[in-house]
Structures are given as structure tokens and as C-alpha cells.
A and B are shown apart, each in its own frame.
Chain A
Amino acid sequence: NAGVTQTPKFRILKIGQSMTLQCTQDMNHNYMYWYRQDPGMGLKLIYYSVGAGITDKGEVPNGYNVSRSTTEDFPLRLELAAPSQTSVYFCASNRADTQYFGPGTRLTVL
């Protein structure tokens, strides 16, 4: 099993550009999550999904969108990137009280 994979690993965006962060898991988990981690801080939940076709907002959803068309994939879309979205983004999936995290995407908005 590859577990949770994320692409890209790094990205630099200009203000106002958009992009999609990809997340795929091969463990057939229904629950998936997107978090962001600002320097020196803990993780904050952006969006989560309890299964294909079902998504909901977390603590900090503004400026982001998600979709979940399959069990495996949970992409995060940034529209009109802003410097405040500079962060490390982690995707995770959940099974039986354990979350499995991807390696993260480091995003810089200039």
C-alpha cells in the first residue's frame, strides 16, 4: 500500500492564481480530511469528507473548495490564491480511530 499520497510536494503561486492539490489514498477509507499547518502551529481542519459525494467545512474553509467523486481521491482547490494561504497542506484518511497522513504540500503564495 502506498497509503496517502499528495502532489505536488512544493508549489509557488502568484497572488490571484488558482491550483488544485491532489490527494489519493489506496486503503479504501471513507473518511478523508484536508488540513493546513502554518509555521510553529498545529494543524487546522479545512474540509473533510465522509464518503464519495459528501463533503463538509472544517474550521478554516474560506478560500478553498473540495470535491469527492471517488473513494480514493479528495482534491483541494484554491481559487484566487492569497499570501495568507501560504502554508503546508496535509491530506489524511481515517480508519478505526487512526488517521493516516500524507507527506504534505508546501505552498507559497507571492
Chain B
Amino acid sequence: DAKTTQPNSMESNEEEPVHLPCNHSTISGTDYIHWYRQLPSQGPEYVIHGLTSNVNNRMASLAIAEDRKSSTLILHRATLRDAAVYYCILSVTTSGTYKYIFGTGTRLKVLA
């Protein structure tokens, strides 16, 4: 299965943009790229996902490289509530079933 690679940790100042990178060099053509975040003592929550084109929603933007071997999650103005572990995940469809392959994530620290 394709895997993702992320930095273990990153820091950002409050109200500044944050760019969280992810490498997925073995991604297949049909694998979607998802980002979830996990706040302390909670289950992961959805942030954004995409296939080929850049995506925007109210939480973040997702920039996907043209060759799809890497992507970047962009938080436009980090707040203290954005401190979490961010997971870059590939969704794999095999024989009609749909599974997520989690990496180890990036722990984002936001400084006041």
C-alpha cells in the first residue's frame, strides 16, 4: 500500500499561515489525499481532501503537486485551537472496498 511521510513536528505563531507538507511518492492514480487532525484525547476529525486539483474549504486549503507525489495543507491563520496532530492519509480502494492508510502525523504547536 502507498504510504505518506510527514515531519514529526512543526511550530507556528498565532495568526500566521502554516504549511504542513506531506510526501506520498508511491500514490496510485485513484488514491485520494485526505487530511485529518486529532486534538488531545479525541478521535480524528476531517479537515479536507482532494484527488488532483487544489481544494479550499472553511478550515483549510489543500495544494496538490502536479505529479501528485506530494501535497501541502495550508492553515491560513493559525489559532491556538489549531494545535493538534495533523495526519496526511491516502484512501485506497481495493476490490470495491475503501480503506485509509494513516501515517504518523505532524504535531503542530501554535505559539501565542
> Which residues on A sit within 8 Å (CB–CB) of B43?
4, 90, 92, 101-104
Specify the chain B residue showing the minimal Cβ separation from A50.
Answer: B97
Count of B interface residues, CB-CB < 8 Å: 21
Chain A: interface secondary structure? strand
Interface residue A110 (Cβ < 8 Å from any Cβ of B): no
Asked whether A98 lies within 8 Å of B46 as measured between CB atoms, the reply is yes
Specify the chain B residue showing the minimal Cβ separation from A31.
Answer: B98
Chain B: interface secondary structure? strand
- Contact partner of A97 (CB less than 8 A), chosen from B34, B41, B96, B105, is B34
- Contact partner of A42 (CB less than 8 A), chosen from B32, B91, B97, B103, is B103
Asked whether A48 lies within 8 Å of B105 as measured between CB atoms, the reply is no
Asked whether A97 lies within 8 Å of B42 as measured between CB atoms, the reply is no
Closest chain A CB from B105 CB (angstroms): 6
In residues 1-56 of chain A, which contact B (Cβ within 8 Å)? 4, 31, 33, 35, 40-45, 48, 50, 56
